[in-house]
Structure 1
Amino acid sequence: MQNRKAPGSRRMDRGARLALVLWMGMAACLAQAAPLKFRSANFKYVVDGKPIREVLRDFGASQGMVVAVAPEVEGSVVGKFDLTPRQFIDLLALSYGFVYYYNGAVLHVSASQGMHSTLVQLSYARVRQLRETLERMNVSEPRFPIVYDEIANTALVVGPQEYVDVIREISIQLEKRTRTGGRSVTRIFPLRYTRAADRPGTDGEVQPGIASLLQELYNKGGQGNSGAGASLLRSERSLSDRVAPALGSAQQESPVDTGSLALRRTFNIQPKPATAATTGGAPAGSGAGTSGFAPTAPAPLAGASEQEEREDESLPVILPDADGNNIVVRDLPERMPAYEALIASLDTQPRMIEIAVQIIDIDDSALREVGVDWNLSSRHLLGGSASSIATKATEGGLLTAIIGNSGQALLTRIAALEQQGQARISSQPRVATLNNIAAVMSSEKTFYVKVPGYQSSSLYNVSAGLDMKVTPTATREADGYRIRLEVRIDDGQVSTTETVDSLPTVSRSQIGTQAFVRQDESLLLAGHTVERTEERNSGVPLLQDLPVVGAAFRQKSVSRNRTERLFLVTPRVLD
C-alpha cells in the first residue's frame, strides 16, 4: 500500500529542522511565563500522514487536557518526535501556522489569520489595576502582549478569540467592582478670589463663574450633566483613530453615548482568506499574518445594569454655592483630585489695575500746539524729553497715540493752554479694577419728556452724557507689565439751540478701540469734535424793551466754538 504525504507533511519535512532551531532561542523565556503546564517532561511521538487535528488531540490526551481545534487548522503530520511537550506544540504552531491559548481547562487552537483585537477603554478602573489583575490571575500571555496607554486609560489586546474574550470579561468585572466599590461622593471646594456663580456684567451680559466653566469643560456641549464628560469621549476617539489605521479600515462609527459603560471600543477582527504570506511559517503568536485583519464596527460591551448606567449618566454634578462662594461637585472619588487641582489653578488672586482718565477739551486751532502730529504714524519726541509718541489713524477718523511717561509732558502742555483759555480738563475720573474686569465711568444728565396719550400722559426719560468702559488685561513680561486696553466711549450732548417739535435734540458719538501699552504709558484718543453754539443778547436797560424803537437799543450775537475732545487713558498695575 502506497502512502501519500499531504502538502502539510512535505512542508514539515523541509522546515522541521530549521523551525526547531529557531524555536530553541526563545523557548527559555516562554517556558517560565506561560500559564500552560504539562503532565510529562518528555513527549515521544511517531506519526506517518496523520491529520493535524488528530495529532493535537493525541497530544492533549497524553497531557490530560482538552484540545479544541478550529476547522481552519488543516494538514498532515509525518515524523518522529522526541521533544518536551512545549517544544512539540510550538514546533507544530511554527510549521502549520496556527496559534494556541490555554485558559486553564481547554487548549484552544486556531488559525493565525483568525486573530482578533479589542481596544478596552476604562472609565472607573485604571489600566494599572487591569495589568495587576491579569498578572495576579496569571492570565496575561507573553506571546500576545497587551499595549497599555496610561494617559488615555486604554488597553489594546490582540490574540486568539478566546484570549481576547477572557481579557474583555475581566475588564468588565473590574469596572463593575470599581464602580460599585467607589460610588459617587460630594465635595465642597471653597473659592477665595474668583466667583463661583455667574454674575451680571456692567454691560448687561452675564459673566460666567467657575461653576459654569467646569460644567462646560466636563459635560457634553456644556448643556446639563450628561455623564462621564466630553473629555473622556475625545480621548477614547483619539486613541481609536490611531489604532484603526494599523488594524485596517473600520466602518463608519455610530455616535457614542457618553453616559454608557466606557468599555465601548471593541474591534471584532474577521480573518481574510489565507494567503502564502499569512501561512508560510509564521511564528506562533508573533503577530505575523495580522496585516490581513479587517476590523468591523465596534460593538458595545455588556456588564452594566440599566440602573447603574442611568446613575452614571448623572455624573458629574457641578453646582455653585453663591452665598458661600463654593463649588459643589458630586462625582466618583478617583476624579476628585483632578477637580481640586483644576479649581486651585483657576482660583488665583487677580491683579489690581488702576485706570486714570483725563478728559480734555482743546480748541481746534490749538490742537497742534499740544505736540502731537496726528498725520504721522512714526514715533516722536514730546517737548524735547524722553517721552515718546506713536500715533495711528483708525477707522472712523479716530486717532490714537501711545505716550510714555504716563502722559506727563502732554498734561504740562495742556496746563499751559488752559491758562490761555484754549483748553480745559473737564473731568479726571480714576478707578481701580481687577485684571480683565471692565471699569465703568459714567456721568449723564436725564430729562423727562411728557408725551400725551388718549386718556393720560406719560413721561419718557432721555439721558445724555459720558459713558466710558475700559477693560484692562495685564500680563507680566521680562521687561515689565504689558497691558491690553479695550476702550468703549459713548459721549452724548443735549443741544439747547436745535429742537424738534420744541424738544431738544441729543447728539451721540461712540468710540471703540483696543491697544497694548506698557506700564507708565498712556493711550491718547482723539478725533471726537464737539461744536458749541452760544447766543448772547445785550442792550441798554429799559430802552431795549420799548416797542418798535427797542430793537435799536439791543444786539444779538451768535458765537460758534469748535473743540477737540481728547481722552488720555493711563493704566497702572498695583503690585
Structure 2
Amino acid sequence: MKVFLKLLILALVLAPLASRAATTDKVETKVYLAQDESAKRVIEKMLSMFGKRLVADSIPSSPVSGRFEVKTVDDVMAYFESAYQINWFQNGLNVYTYRSGNWRTKRIYVGGDRSNDDWKELLTSAGLYYKEFPFVFHMDSKELIVSGPASYLSLIEDSFEQDRPDPSEIAKHGTQLMVFPLKHASVEDRQTNLRGTMVTTPGALSVLLNLLGLPNQQMANSPEAKKPGMNVERSPYSLSPGEGLMMGERIGALPVSPSSGVKKKADDDPEKAEFVSVTADPRTNSILIRDAKSKHDYYKNLIDQLDRQVAMIEVEAMMVEVDQKGLNELGLEFGLLSDRFAYDFPGSGVGRPSLIAAGATSIVDPMRFMARLKALSADENAKVLARPTIVTQDNVSAYIDLSQTLYIQVSGERVADVIPITAGSLLQVTPRVVIDEQEERIFLRIEIQDGSLTENTQGINMPRVQNTSLSTQAVIQREKAILIGGYNRESTEVNDYKVPLLGDIPYIGKAFTSTEKRTQTVARLFLITPRLIDRPIHDSESTRKAVKELQMSFKLKGDNLEGTPSLKLDSTIPR
C-alpha cells in the first residue's frame, strides 16, 4: 500500500512536466502571404518571424507571390535555395547568403603557434566552424589559410586577424659581415688556475654578449666549462682562494666566453626571429658580427667604448718577517705600535702581548721603509722572504702565488690515492687609478692568504695547516705604499755545528757535533707598492688643439737663434 501511494504521488508530480514538454516540442507553423514582392524582401520578412536577419550578397529582384508555410529557418531557405541557386549559412542572429561565384581562398595573418586542432577548437568555441569551409594553419608564416564566401572570410578577419609585425632590419637592408679589430682590450677571457679553482676575467666578447643578451653556447657544449659560481673539483685539504677571503668565487661567477657564433631571437619574440652571429677571432684579436647592415654604426660605437686604452700599473709585493726588537724600531718610526691596543694571538704565543695593533695598516713611504729595513736586515732583526713584482692593467686583478704542495698517500681496502695539500702565500691585488680634482691616486683592493705546513703535535702522521687571511682596500697617493700587518708567527731555525774533520768520523763524530734549535716569535708584514708606469692617452680634440698651439708658440724661426725656449712634448700624443 505504501509503495502504491509513492508511485501515485510521483505520477502526479511528473504529469505537468510531461505536458509542458509536449507543448514545447510542438513547433508552430508560420504562414506568410507574398503578393508581387521581391525575393529578398520575402526572405527578410520570413526570417524576422524567427528573430533572424538577412545578410545577402546577391539575390534576384524578381517579384514573388504565394503562400509560404514554414516551421524553421531551414524551411525558409529551402524555398529559395534551389530556385535562385544560392547557398547560405547561419551565424548567430544573421543568415548569410552567397553564390558559388563568391567563393574565395585567403591567407589571414593570425600569429601564434596553434595547431590545426587548436584552431578547430577555437573556431568551434567562437561559432565560426563549418565543415563546408575548410582551413589550414601555416606554421612558418603564422597565417590561417581559409576557403569560403567573402562574408565568412570577413567574419574570420574581424575575429582573428592581427597586424603583421614590422619587417626586421635584416629584411629591410640585408645582412653584413662586420669585423671589428681590438687595439687595447683582449677578445678572449683570461682564465687563471689558482690552486685548483678556475678564476675567469671576462674579455671583450663575453662583455658584449652579456650586454646584447645573447646566450652562451660554450657553457652548454664544452665539458670543461663550469656553471656560474661553480668551482672546479679540487682537494678538500688544499688552501684555495675560495676558502679564504679571495675574490676567486666572485670573479668565477662571471660567464665563460664563447668561441663560436650563437643564434638569437630578437626581443625574445618568435615572430621577429633574426639570425645574429657574434664570434671572435683570437688570431687577430677581432670581434666578428653578422647582422643587419644598418646596425654597423651601433656595434662600432659600442665596441669602441669597450676597447679603451687603460693605464698600466706595476705592483711590488714585499713579504717581511721582523722580530720583536726590529718591530719596536719600525713601530716607533712608522706608527705601527699602539699604546691602547693589545691582542693575544692563538697558538704557542698565547699570553705574549702583541706589539702591533690588531689589523694595523699604514700608508708609508716605500723608499724610507726600505732604508730602515736594510738596517734591520744587517743586524739580523728582519728578513725579506719574497719581493715579487708584477705589471697589470688598470682595474685588472694580479695574482702572486708562492706556495708549496705536499702529496700524501691515502689508501683504503682496495683503493689508493694521492691527496695534495697546498699552503703558502697567495696575494691578489686589484689596482685602479682614481683621478680626483687633477690629482691621481691609486685605489687598491688587496686580499692575502698566508699559510704554512707544520708538524702535527697530536700524534697524527699528517702535517698541520696554519692559514691566515687578510682583506682590505685603500686609496693611496702616488709614490706611496700600504703596509699591512697584525699577526705573529712562530719561526724555528735548526743549526748544526761540528768540529771540522772530527765531526765526520763515524760513531765518535757525534761527540764533536751539536745542534741548536732556535724558536722566536716574528711579525709578518706585507708592503704593497703600486707604481703608475703608463697612463692612457687623452685623445680628444681639445687636447690635440692645445698641443698644436704650444708647439707653434715654441717653434724656432731661425737657424742661428740662441736661448730660444724649448718644450718637450710627449710623442705619444696624437697630432
TM-score by length of 1: 0.47
What's the TM-score once normalised by structure 2's chain length? Answer: 0.47
